[in-house]
Amino acid sequence: MRGIVKRFGDTVANDGVDFTVRPGTIHALLGENGAGKTTLMRVLYGLAARDGGEIFVGGGRAEIRSPKDAIRHGIGMVTQHFSLVEPMTVAENVMLGAEGGFRLDLAAARELVAQASERVGIEIHPQVRVDSLSVGERQRVEIVKALSREARVLVLDEPTAVLVPQQVELLFEALRRLREQGLAIVFISHKLREVTAISDEVTVLRRGQVAGTAAIGDVDERELARMMIGRLAAGVRRESASAGGEPVLSVEGLEAEDSRGLPAVRGVSFEVRAGEILGIAGVSGNGQTELAEVLSGLREPTGGTVSVDGEPGRIPEDRRASVVGELSVAYNLVLEDLDSYRRGPMLDERAIRRRADELIERFDIRARATDSVQGLSGGNMQKVLLARVLAHEPKALVVAQPTQGLDVGATEYVRSQLLAQRDAGAGILLISEDLEELLALSDRLVVMYEGELVGSFEAAAADVEEIGALMAGLR
Amino acid sequence: MPVAAVVVTFALTAGIVLAAGANPIDAYRQFLITPLQSEFSLLEVLVSMTPLMFTGLAVAFAFRAGYWNIGAEGQLLCGAIAAAWLGQHAGGAPKVLVIPAMLVLGALAGAVWALPPALLRTRFGIDEVVTTLLLNPVALLVVSGLLNGPWRDPVTKFPESPRIAGGAEFPQLVDRSRLHLGFVIALVLAAVLWFVTTKTASGVRLRAVGLSPRGARFARIPVERTLLTAALVSGAVAGLGGVSELAGIQFRLTEGISPGYGYTGVVAATLGGLSMIGVTAAAFFLGLVNVGAGTASRVLDVPTQLGEIITAALLLVAVGLILFRRYRIVRVTA
């Protein structure tokens, strides 16, 4: 792939990316979330149309406009979300999309499955229904599917995200066998440990550009981590806060599962004091979402304790799901305190309107009180949520990805509001994937990796390389 | 939307009317205009509208909260059972005592019938569409069991209950017509529910839960409690509809006491856009079609089922139009 460019609106997901994979190698594509890895592979597989650059397969130019073209060129992809039909058997699933003609040739499909599973080195029974297979086994069915289409290039997108350690080892063995057979394998990951364990070559993407390409033997893990995170401006540090007051949010041994029932938060303990911002860094998918949900009251923990001084103010990760889109801005602003606007049995609409206008003014919300919230821009929606939360002047705030998807102006505004709250004595827990944001706002910083907290830093003494290494799973 | 639904429905069913052997224009005039032309038939329209208001309001209130109560039919029957029981045991007690008691009992019976599916939904997340629906035939079987057993009329031996006591009968509103107290109660209910949903804090919370359960939960609104309350209120209102039909029209419990009022209530709720005022208007319209179907069948010699066909078609068309309001059809060029 040469000079690949892919834009989504104003965002450049891939900015002139060069990427080469040789047969008989496992080439890792490493980077944080949002670095552009998945986008790049989606372009390769025809799931996204590129805006610039060229693709060459086996030496010749390849025009790939859909997965069908990609498959024709011998490219197979195993995504994070499997595309298997659960009530059907393995053989039927392998056949789907490649039936070729009117009659179903199940015998041929069984043969294909048998051959492919031999290549992979693990027994896969073609007659078994997919819904009785474990996640690891289903992943192998996906690989078999790709192989049965005579793939010469196999792309795996974060394959270990859904696997437990023993299954990871099995997967790696299968990949090594396939490598011996001359397959070119692309392994997308953000986990350094795995990348160094399995790959021969690695390309690091950062913010849509290639930060570096190397053979595994030639580069050490610290360097890779640095390539992933990059050199961040040492500035953007405001004067360090006071020593911090009483704890306003304490978490002890917290445990929680994700929506699949897998453990996401594994025994997390920390404390947020008044007048300080505690930042939690980490690549998305390491339990931060679940942690934020537990602290916001949206998810029940499976263990541990949480104690908060008063009701915590919450800025949620998914702002669209946290407002009632079809209600007005005014109602959304007062939704939590409707009872205090009652006059007898009726709602005092004028009082609500007055309060709404007040908040719109104070929080610079560019909308009318009567507008329905779903039509607002992301920035204004976030301001509505901010206004609702901050109007109560909470002592503790749980904030998750507050500036995700916001333009520069809205981002500045939200960050300044958070700092203002901190200066007024609130204790803020800030969960963000944006390391720059964390470094700019936090007084203390911890890193979350695979559900646990690793490493704790005073912001002033934060070593970006160290943080990056922890985010990628080192030590 | 309702006007469009009506127009489209009539356009679609014109073919059926023709097949039934009548001129569509004549037929629709019989359906819609003729019943309004005499005092008697207008009052009959109001009579026909009454049970549909109860079930329509009940369903609309629940739907507004995002609780898909399809069990209004069974809830209505339970209200009727309660009213029939009280009516048979009222003795010589005066109306002023018996009627309020019947209303309370009937509402309670409807709410009780609505409780199990509501609990299954709030505790276990089990979809209420199926559970409420399946309790409808169960209620009918209970009615059947009572009428073929302990409540069989000892005089006629028919599977119908003895006539309720005089003190249990709803007063007539207009001489020489069947219009009864139930109509007034339904109007009052419509006003009360309208007030609650549009003017109170609870109403806004209920609407929030229906529009965005996640957003409501985030705003610390107790979603499960709201759903449960909406379900119980809905059941109670439908139960009141059962009381109304029994004490105002039928005066005895029969297996045919409800020719699908609960289901037609869904039509009324949808056609009325889930607003209490809209439901009232829709119930009027459906009552009109119902009465009109009767006269049309006599005058034009078309099957009486034509009215039901049109009502059913109305629901499908109304739902279809809602779909078009939400999504636009866009031409995608490769």
Task: Name the more confident of B274 and B177.
Answer: B274
Q: Give B218's contacts in chain A (Cβ within 8 Å).
A: 296, 298, 314, 316, 321-323
Shared-domain flag, residues A69 and A203: yes
Beta strand segments in A246-395, E: 247-257, 263-273, 277-281, 303-308, 313-315, 342-343, 346-347
Q: What is the pLDDT of residues A248-293, one digit of tens each?
A: 899 999 999 987 778 889 999 999 999 899 999 887 778 888 898 8
Q: Are A344 and B195 in contact (CB under 8 A)?
A: no
Which whole-number Å values give the CA distances from A215 to A384, B32, B159, B211, B281, in the listed order? 49, 82, 89, 54, 75
User: Contact A324/B200, CB-based, under 8 Å?
Assistant: no
DSSP one-letter code for B245: H
At residue A244, the pLDDT reads 60
Shared-domain flag, residues A83 and A221: yes
Q: B297: which residues sit within 8 A by CB, 6+ positions away?
A: B303, B304, B306
User: Contact A324/B215, CB-based, under 8 Å?
Assistant: yes
> Does residue A403 have a pLDDT over 90?
no
Averaged pLDDT for residues B107-135: 96
Q: Are B253 and B161 in contact (CB under 8 A)?
A: yes
Compare CB distances from B215 to A314, A322, A347 and report the shortest one's residue: A322
Shared-domain flag, residues A407 and A291: yes
Compare CB distances from B201 to A321, A332, A339 and report the shortest one's residue: A339
User: Contact B204/A331, CB-based, under 8 Å?
Assistant: yes
- Where do the H-state alpha helices sit in A163-237? 165-180, 192-198, 221-229
- How far apart (Å, rounded) are the C-alpha atoms in residues B259 and B275? 24
Q: Read off the amino acid at residue B212.
A: S
> Does residue A109 have a pLDDT over 80?
no
Q: Domain holding A290: CATH number?
A: 3.40.50.300
Mean pLDDT of chain A: 84
Q: Whole domain around residue A365: which residue ranges? A: 321-393
At residue A277, the pLDDT reads 92
Q: Domain holding B269: CATH number?
A: 1.10.3470
Chain-centre distance for alpha carbon A19: 23
Q: A326: which residues sit within 8 A by CB, 6+ positions away?
A: A372, A373, A374, B211, B212
Q: Which of A384, A382, A385 is nearest to A404 (CA)?
A: A382
At residue A52, the pLDDT reads 86
- How far apart (Å, rounded) are the C-alpha atoms in residues A91 and A84? 11
Which whole-number Å values give the CA distances from A277 to A396, A416, B83, in the listed order? 10, 13, 64
Q: CB-based contact (8 Å) between A197 and chain B?
A: no
Q: CB-based contact (8 Å) between A341 and chain B?
A: yes
Shared-domain flag, residues A150 and A223: yes
Q: Whole domain around residue B88: which residue ranges? A: 30-319
Q: CB-based contact (8 Å) between A345 and chain B?
A: yes
Grade residue B306 by pLDDT with cuts at 50, 70 and 90. Answer: confident
Single residue among A355, A370, A393 that ends a domain in this structure: A393
Q: CB-based contact (8 Å) between A335 and chain B?
A: yes
Shared-domain flag, residues A64 and A129: yes
Averaged pLDDT for residues A333-359: 91
Cβ-in-10-Å burial (0-12, 13-18, 19+) of A135 comes to: middle
Q: Which of B319, B274, B280 is nearest to B54 (CA)?
A: B280
| DSSP bridge partners of B315 | none
**Which residue in chain A is spatially nearest to B221 when comparing CA positions?**
A336
Residue B262 falls inside a structural domain: yes
Q: What residues 204-223 of chain B have any CB closer than 8 A to a CB of chain A? A: 204-205, 207-208, 211-212, 214-221
Shared-domain flag, residues A389 and A402: no
Q: Lowest mean pLDDT: which of A272-281, A434-443, B32-41, B309-318?
A: B309-318
User: Contact A314/B218, CB-based, under 8 Å?
Assistant: yes
Q: A118: which residues sit within 8 A by CB, 6+ positions away?
A: none
At residue B196, the pLDDT reads 95
Residue B253 falls inside a structural domain: yes
Phi, psi of A14 (to 5 degrees): -125, 120
Mean pLDDT of chain B: 89
> Does residue A433 have a pLDDT over 90?
no
> Does residue A243 have a pLDDT over 70?
no
User: Contact B221/A335, CB-based, under 8 Å?
Assistant: yes
Compare CB distances from A324 to B200, B201, B212 and report the shortest one's residue: B212
Residue B324 falls inside a structural domain: no
State yes or no: ipTM above 0.90: no
Grade residue A101 by pLDDT with cuts at 50, 70 and 90. Answer: low
Q: Lowest mean pLDDT: which of A123-137, A258-272, A392-406, B33-47?
A: A123-137
Shared-domain flag, residues A24 and A145: yes
Shared-domain flag, residues A110 and A200: yes
- The 3-state secondary structure of B162-220, one letter per residue: CCCCHHHCCCECCCCCCCEHHHHHHHHHHHHHHHHHHHCHHHHHHHHHHHCHHHHHHCC
| pTM of the complete model beyond 0.80 | no
Between strands A201-206 and A26-30, the pairing is parallel
Compare CB distances from A322 to B199, B207, B218 and report the shortest one's residue: B218
- The number of domains in chain A is 3
Residue B220 falls inside a structural domain: yes
Burial A274-289 (b: 16+ CB within 10 A, else e): bbbbbbbbbbbbbbbb
Shared-domain flag, residues A364 and A436: no
Q: B16: which residues sit within 8 A by CB, 6+ positions away?
A: B306, B309
User: Contact B201/A326, CB-based, under 8 Å?
Assistant: no
Compare CB distances from B219 to A326, A336, A345 and report the shortest one's residue: A336
Shared-domain flag, residues A223 and A265: no
> How large a percentage of chain B has pLDDT more than 70?
97
Residue B23 falls inside a structural domain: no
Single residue among A186, A205, A229 that ends a domain in this structure: A229
Q: CB-based contact (8 Å) between B157 and chain A?
A: no
Q: CB-based contact (8 Å) between B155 and chain A?
A: no
Tokens encoding B105:
């009992």
User: Contact A335/B204, CB-based, under 8 Å?
Assistant: yes
Q: Coil, strand, or helix at residue A372?
A: strand
- The number of domains in chain B is 1
Single residue among A393, A423, A445 that ends a domain in this structure: A393
